């Protein structure tokens, strides 16, 4: 690694740009005593992750507000800095200087721990996301399993917040949140199971490496297979539900129970909840990119000179933009409709997707494989979709007029 | 049929709003969707008893915006009450003015010239457009479409409010109708501006429909929710778009034929199921019918006087008697009941507020639905607290 | 197909997003206070008293008849009539308001005072940026604060002001013609058996006021 690094530096090749962070890390670590070198390396990576995704959080808040603004025919924030770019700093100052109000009858310890636990869990899952070539904090053999396990801790944090606030609205919000998050874990994991089956490994690094390469101009990402496309869509819907984003943001249903489980939080703790929610969104998008969108792989053969981490963040930004776009358009689902959708539509689709993935894997490659897989995806989708609409007697109506 | 508007005695109030988290006997949650709430269209409170997410009991509590409107009217002149009627249903001030002017004209036997009638119809239909736009915008907001349809609706509403400002001097508190006609004539260029606004409006309606009308989430949230059977609606005295969405053909513009509405060719849309989706679609269709009326009125209007020459601005003393004048305001039947005793001040002045009467059936519509639905159903009744509390 | 309506909605939103960069119609924000929307001519905010000429006290049209005070719905006008008379714009002695206060924290901009004033003395202004830190004194406007010249009236409501000026000039011309006719009748008719100290000819209106 050292020789490659120094060679790249001297030749200023694309590899240098690609591995620049590793080179810098290696250089810093080489100044430390031998016993502490691995600890220092890990610490540097952790700082880089926290700093990098924290910065992304700040950028996302301003992107979301301006994006929603433009969708709604108005400017977003544009007073602080050029085009509002310094707005996150203003928001940070505000949240740090606001009074921290804790209800008198609240359970103070749990009330304090809930946002901290949320942020801890949200940050921990970044350990297994490969952000670039050779740039993963820990290359676990069971990376995806680790991700889902730690990611579920956020649900505990949400319930802690709702319960400890001693407020009927937050209790309602917490109950809704738990029900929603638990029901959507199942389609989430089932849709990622297809990728695990296809690659035969739970390690995120292996999954990304299996998606390298191109056939003519089409990359080998799992998105460009029928089962991968269906899996990706299911995964993203479940991801939206897991991060409590619109249209699944009933737990924080702003217009009914005002803020749901974080109604009694103010000041910095509120900002931590925000941070935790957004970090969760980035993490699960990151996993979607790793599983379906080829991780840090370039989309076209002649673009491989662009550094790998730039591709990862470009894809991440695309997914964030998609989240914002969906938020600006759709109303939210009611609780029972949400659960109905999870158990009666997404779960059967995810299970049938497993069969499609298996069929794809064992058939010889060629147009027949494509045709069969597409049929295996589209037919259940149409049938289940029609079932969903008819069950609730949803129809297009025609109105009569009287004179 | 049970109504839930018991008199708010201290004892009943205390028991209901008791701050116990959960009733240990039966696991019911008492919650107060209190006066400070983003979705209650003003200072309005609903005491709700929930069983899980289902509503078991619902009691509306209002009166937070009571401003003694009717008592004030008894101590001021008829003319001085007109600005106060603006503030009743503060979204539709021109309709309120017309209803009051109609009642006084019935009381005093004044005749309204033709041009004034045309202007009144144009003003009322423009009011209906902007009120319905605001209602459906807020309905979408309550359903969680984070403000996007609301902003589109308000973008159109601004154009109509600009028209009002050019005509009456104020965007919302218009104070424009007088007894026997209107206050001032249309300014130069107003008709062209109005025609332009009316011509551009259907584009917004089409955009709105493509945004939401076949959206599956919207359909799932609104169809079958908050059904109001027509018999219950008639028994409860409900009027307006809610009644028509339940299938009852009752539009005061067609029944009373006040003003010059019989000259215009328009239809009355009727719903079948009486659920939230029907009420939402009825308002969209009513907006299109209003556009038809506006189109015809803006082309048929001719120059002429705008106020009855016999009408007096100062020293107006109608003969002793009583009169009830009503119009189809965007929210329902808005009526004014006046008793005059020959003095410049009315002896009794009573407003029939459509929002308050429509609230009678709120509990019946919400029983059995979930809390999220309650907010949506409440949004479709389309109340304005200024009218409910006066 | 499930998802069709959602896709249509997403396209609509995208159209608005992209359109907001190219189409003025899709970005309706006006960046107040750097940009301002033009106000309609008929806008009304708070009243002001009109005076003709240069001196606001001498040219004030208001004669203290207190009609606006009586008709004001929230009773926000407070007038004290003077005990002496001073000549008005055409020289006729009229009362004037010694005190004319409007409490604009009560005023609801209904414009009834303007409608009922027989002298076109009070009109509606269009200024709305009227914040003050003094809640009591700052919101009780006296005669000096309320008096504004006729040019200001022309500036904010040109059509109305032109019409008012035309009407007032017409009335004055009629009154002048009547006075001239009366004076001619007086000089041409035989002098009556009246005391020799006849008062000088009253310049201006003699009968109606």
Query: A123-181: per-residue pLDDT in tens?
Result: 999 999 998 888 888 888 899 999 999 988 988 888 888 888 887 777 877 888 888 88
8 Å CB contact of A333 and B285: no
Tell whether the model's pLDDT for residue B9 goes beyond 50. Answer: no
8 Å CB contact of B210 and C2: no
Domain boundaries, chain A: 3-390
Distance from C-alpha of B144 to C-alpha of B138, rounded to nearest angstrom: 10
Query: Which chain C positions have a beta carbon within 8 Å of A388's beta carbon?
Result: 2
Tell whether the model's pLDDT for residue B16 goes beyond 80. Answer: no
pLDDT per residue as tens digits for the range A222-277:
888 888 999 999 999 999 988 888 788 877 765 566 667 778 888 888 889 889 98
State the nearest Cα–Cα gap between C126 and chain A, in angstroms.
Answer: 27
Nearest to C13 among A74, A75, A325 (CB): A325
User: Span C125-149, mean pLDDT?
Assistant: 87
Reduce the DSSP state of residue B27 to 3 states and report it.
coil
CA angle (B293, B298, B300) in 5-degree steps: 95
Question: Is C65 near chain B, with CB under 8 Å?
Answer: no
Probe site for chain B from A64, A103, A334, A395 (most B CB atoms < 10 A):
A334
Least confident among A309-318, A333-342, B272-281: A333-342
Handedness of CA A350, A351, A357, A363 (dihedral sign): negative
Which is nearest to B94 in space by CA: B164, B186, B166, B191? B164
What does the DSSP assignment read for C111-167? Answer: -HHHHH-TTS-EEE--------S-SSSTTEE-HHHHEEEHHHHHHH-HHHHHHHHHH
Phi, psi dihedral angles at A173 (to 5 degrees): -60, -40
Q: Which residues touch A218 (CB under 8 Å, ≥6 apart)?
A: A224
State the nearest Cα–Cα gap between B152 and chain A, in angstroms.
Answer: 7
Rounded mean pLDDT of chain C?
82
Question: Is A382 near chain C, with CB under 8 Å?
Answer: yes
Left, alpha or beta for B334 (phi > 0: left; psi -120 to 50: alpha)? beta
Tell whether the model's pLDDT for residue B7 goes beyond 70. Answer: no
Residue A281's pLDDT is what?
92
Using CA atoms, how far residue A3 sits from A9, A26, A30, A44, A135, in Å, is 10, 12, 14, 21, 18
Tell whether the model's pLDDT for residue B27 goes beyond 80. Answer: no
Q: State the pLDDT confidence band at C204, using cuts at 50, 70 and 90.
A: very low
Query: Could you tell me which chain C residue has the CA closest to the CA of A341?
Result: C2
Most confident residue range from A212-216, B36-40, C9-13: C9-13
Probe site for chain B from C111, C113, C114 (most B CB atoms < 10 A):
C111
Phi, psi dihedral angles at B336 (to 5 degrees): -125, 125
Residue C190's pLDDT is what?
59
Q: Which residue has the higher pLDDT, C209 or B170?
A: B170
Give the percent of chain C with pLDDT over 90. Answer: 15
What does the DSSP assignment read for A243-277? Answer: TT-TTS-GGG-TTTSTTGGGTT--THHHHHHHHHH
Q: How far is CA A325 from the centre of its chain?
A: 15
- The torsion defined by the Cα of A375, A381, A382 and A385, in degrees rounded to 10, comes to 180
Domain boundaries, chain C: 47-170
Distance from C-alpha of A218 to C-alpha of A340, rounded to nearest angstrom: 37
8 Å CB contact of C109 and B162: no
State the nearest Cα–Cα gap between A189 and chain B, in angstroms.
Answer: 24
Which is nearest to B381 in space by CA: A370, B364, C192, B299? B364
State the nearest Cα–Cα gap between C165 and chain B, in angstroms.
Answer: 18
Tell whether the model's pLDDT for residue C202 goes beyond 70. Answer: no
8 Å CB contact of A329 and C9: yes
Q: In this structure, are residues A294 and A219 in contact, taking their beta carbons and an 8 Å threshold? A: yes
Query: Which chain B positions have a beta carbon within 8 Å of A331's beta carbon?
Result: 140, 143-145, 212, 215, 217-218, 221
Helix H or strand E segment including B275: none
Residue C40's pLDDT is what?
84
Query: Which chain B positions have a beta carbon within 8 Å of C116's beta carbon?
Result: 313-314
Handedness of CA A166, A169, A174, A176 (dihedral sign): positive
Distance from C-alpha of A270 to C-alpha of A95, rounded to nearest angstrom: 8
User: Span C90-100, mean pLDDT?
Assistant: 83
8 Å CB contact of C16 and A73: yes
Residue B120's pLDDT is what?
93
User: Span A287-306, mean pLDDT?
Assistant: 87
Query: Could you tell me which chain C residue has the CA closest to the CA of B212?
Result: C9
Q: Which CATH class is domain C47-170?
A: alpha beta
Query: Could you tell me which chain B residue has the CA closest to the CA of A248?
Result: B144
Tell whether the model's pLDDT for residue B131 goes beyond 90. Answer: yes
8 Å CB contact of C9 and B215: yes
pLDDT per residue as tens digits for the range A8-21:
455 556 677 788 88
Tell whether the model's pLDDT for residue C181 goes beyond 80. Answer: yes
Polymer length in residues for chain C: 209
8 Å CB contact of C9 and B84: no
8 Å CB contact of C10 and A67: no
Polymer length in residues for chain A: 403
Query: Could you tell me which chain C residue has the CA closest to the CA of B76?
Result: C73
Tell whether the model's pLDDT for residue B139 goes beyond 60. Answer: yes
ipTM above 0.85, yes or no: no
Q: State the pLDDT confidence band at B20, using cuts at 50, 70 and 90.
A: very low
User: Span A353-372, mean pLDDT?
Assistant: 88
Distance from C-alpha of A23 to C-alpha of A29, rounded to nearest angstrom: 10
pLDDT per residue as tens digits for the range C163-179:
888 888 888 888 888 88
Rounded mean pLDDT of chain A?
85
8 Å CB contact of C27 and A74: yes
8 Å CB contact of A332 and B219: no
Which is nearest to A132 in space by CA: A188, A240, A243, A52? A52
C103-122: b or e for each residue (b if 16 or more CB lie within 10 Å)? Answer: ebeebbbbbbbbbbbeebbb
Probe site for chain B from A75, A258, A331, A384 (most B CB atoms < 10 A):
A331
Burial of C140 (0-12, 13-18, 19+ CB in 10 A): middle
Q: In this structure, are residues C159 and B187 in contact, taking their beta carbons and an 8 Å threshold? A: yes
Query: Which chain B positions have a beta carbon within 8 Å of A393's beta carbon?
Result: 223-224
Distance from C-alpha of A189 to C-alpha of A197, rounded to nearest angstrom: 12
What is the CB neighbour count within 10 angstroms for residue A122?
27
Sheet holding B332-340, edge to edge: B321-329, B332-340, B348-352
Residue A239's pLDDT is what?
92
Phi, psi dihedral angles at A180 (to 5 degrees): -65, -50
Probe site for chain B from C19, C23, C73, C123 (most B CB atoms < 10 A):
C73
8 Å CB contact of A326 and C17: no
Handedness of CA A12, A15, A17, A20 (dihedral sign): negative
Q: In this structure, are residues B173 and B95 in contact, taking their beta carbons and an 8 Å threshold? A: no
Query: Could you tell me which chain C residue has the CA closest to the CA of A389?
Result: C2
Nearest to C1 among A70, A326, A385 (CB): A385
Least confident among A20-34, A38-52, A222-236, B185-199: A20-34
Q: How many residue pairs from chains A and B have C-beta atoms closer than 8 A?
A: 130
Query: Which chain B positions have a beta carbon within 8 Å of A257's beta carbon?
Result: 371
What stretches of B181-252 adopt beta strand conformation (E)?
181-182
């Amino acid at each position: 690694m050292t020789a490659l690094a120094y060679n790249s530096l001297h030749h200023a090749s694309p590899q240098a740009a690609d591995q620049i962070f590793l080179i810098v890390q290696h250089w810093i670590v080489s100044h430390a005593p031998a016993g502490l070198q691995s600890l220092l390396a890990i610490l540097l990576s952790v700082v880089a992750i926290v700093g990098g995704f924290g910065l992304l959080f700040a950028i996302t808040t301003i992107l979301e507000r301006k994006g929603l603004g433009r969708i709604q025919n108005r400017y977003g924030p544009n007073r602080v800095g050029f085009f509002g770019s310094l707005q996150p700093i203003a928001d940070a100052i505000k949240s740090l200087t606001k009074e921290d109000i804790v209800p008198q009858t609240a359970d103070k310890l749990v009330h304090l721990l809930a946002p901290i636990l949320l942020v801890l869990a949200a940050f921990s899952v970044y350990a297994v996301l490969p952000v670039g070539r050779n740039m993963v904090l820990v290359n676990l053999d069971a990376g995806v399993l680790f991700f889902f396990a730690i990611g579920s801790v956020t649900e505990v944090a949400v319930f802690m917040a709702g319960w400890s606030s001693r407020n009927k609205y937050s209790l309602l919000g917490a109950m809704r949140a738990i029900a929603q998050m638990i029901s959507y874990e199942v389609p989430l994991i089932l849709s990622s199971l297809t990728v695990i089956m296809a690659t035969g490994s739970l390690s995120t690094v292996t999954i990304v490496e299996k998606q390298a390469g191109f056939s003519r101009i089409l990359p080998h990402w799992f998105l460009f297979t029928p089962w991968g496309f269906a899996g990706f869509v299911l995964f993203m819907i479940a991801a939206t539900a897991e991060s409590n984003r619109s249209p699944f943001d009933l737990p924080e249903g702003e217009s009914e129970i005002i803020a749901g489980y974080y109604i009694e939080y103010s000041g910095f703790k509120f900002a931590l909840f925000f941070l935790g929610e957004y970090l969760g969104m980035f993490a699960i998008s990151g996993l979607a990119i790793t599983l379906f969108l080829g991780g840090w792989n370039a989309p076209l053969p002649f673009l491989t000179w662009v550094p790998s981490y730039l591709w990862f963040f470009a894809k991440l930004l695309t997914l964030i933009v998609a989240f914002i776009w969906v938020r600006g358009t759709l109303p939210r689902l009611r609780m029972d409709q949400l659960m109905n959708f999870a158990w009666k539509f997404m779960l059967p689709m995810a299970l049938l997707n497993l069969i499609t993935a298996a069929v794809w894997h064992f058939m010889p490659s060629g147009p027949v494989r494509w045709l069969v897989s597409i049929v295996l995806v589209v037919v259940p989708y149409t049938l289940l979709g029609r079932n969903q609409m008819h069950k609730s007697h949803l129809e297009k109506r025609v109105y009569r007029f009287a004179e | 049929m049970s109504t839930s508007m018991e008199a708010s005695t201290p004892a009943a109030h205390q028991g209901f709003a008791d701050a116990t988290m959960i009733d240990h006997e039966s696991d019911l949650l008492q919650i107060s969707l209190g006066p400070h709430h983003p979705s209650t269209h003003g200072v309005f409170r609903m005491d709700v008893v929930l069983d899980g997410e289902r509503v078991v009991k619902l009691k509306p509590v209002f009166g937070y915006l009571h401003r003694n409107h009717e008592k004030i009217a008894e101590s001021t002149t008829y003319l001085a009450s007109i600005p106060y009627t603006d503030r009743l249903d503060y979204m539709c001030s021109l309709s309120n003015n017309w209803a009051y002017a109609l009642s006084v004209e019935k009381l005093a036997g004044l005749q309204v010239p033709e041009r004034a009638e045309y202007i009144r119809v144009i003003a009322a239909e423009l009011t209906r457009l902007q009120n319905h736009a605001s209602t459906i915008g807020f309905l979408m907001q309550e359903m969680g479409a984070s403000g996007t349809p609301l902003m589109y609706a308000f973008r159109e509403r601004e154009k109509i409010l600009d028209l009002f400002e050019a005509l009456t001097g104020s965007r919302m508190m218009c104070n424009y109708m007088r007894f026997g006609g209107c206050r001032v004539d249309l300014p130069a260029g107003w008709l062209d501006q109005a025609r332009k606004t009316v011509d551009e409006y259907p584009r917004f309606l089409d955009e709105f429909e493509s945004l939401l009308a076949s959206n599956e989430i919207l359909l799932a949230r609104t169809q079958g929710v908050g059904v109001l059977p027509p018999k219950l609606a008639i028994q409860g005295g409900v009027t307006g778009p809610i009644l028509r969405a339940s299938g009852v053909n009752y539009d005061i513009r067609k029944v009373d034929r006040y003003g010059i509405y019989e000259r215009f060719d328009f239809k009355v849309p009727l719903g079948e199921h009486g659920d939230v989706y029907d009420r939402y679609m009825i308002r969209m269709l009513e907006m299109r019918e209003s556009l038809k009326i506006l189109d015809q009125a803006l082309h048929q209007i001719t120059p002429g006087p705008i106020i009855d020459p016999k009408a007096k601005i100062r020293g107006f003393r109608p003969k002793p008697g009583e009169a009830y004048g009503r119009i189809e305001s965007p929210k329902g039947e808005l009526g004014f009941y006046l008793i005059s005793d020959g003095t410049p001040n009315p002896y009794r002045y009573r407003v029939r507020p459509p929002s308050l009467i429509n609230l009678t059936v709120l509990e019946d519509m919400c029983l059995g639905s979930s809390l999220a639905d309650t907010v949506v159903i409440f949004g479709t009744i389309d109340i304005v607290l200024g009218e409910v509390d006066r | 197909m499930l998802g069709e309506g959602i896709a249509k909605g997403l396209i609509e939103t995208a159209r608005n997003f992209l359109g907001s960069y190219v189409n003025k119609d899709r970005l309706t924000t006006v960046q107040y206070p750097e940009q301002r929307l033009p106000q309609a001519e008929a806008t009304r905010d708070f009243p002001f008293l009109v005076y003709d000429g240069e001196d606001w006290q001498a040219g004030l049209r208001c004669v203290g008849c207190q009609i606006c005070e009586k008709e004001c719905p929230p009773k926000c006008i407070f007038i004290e009539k003077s005990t002496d008379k001073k000549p008005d714009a055409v020289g006729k002695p009229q009362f004037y308001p010694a005190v004319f206060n409007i409490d604009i924290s009560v005023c609801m901009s209904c414009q009834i005072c303007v409608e009922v004033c027989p002298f076109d003395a009070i009109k509606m202004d269009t200024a709305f940026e009227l914040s003050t830190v003094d809640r009591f004194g700052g919101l009780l406007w006296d005669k000096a604060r309320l008096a504004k010249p006729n040019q200001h009236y022309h500036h904010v409501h040109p059509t109305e002001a032109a019409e008012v000026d035309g009407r007032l000039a017409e009335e004055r011309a009629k009154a002048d013609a009547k006075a001239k006719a009366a004076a001619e009748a007086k000089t041409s008719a035989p002098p009556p058996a009246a005391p020799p100290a006849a008062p000088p000819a009253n310049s201006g209106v003699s009968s109606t006021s």
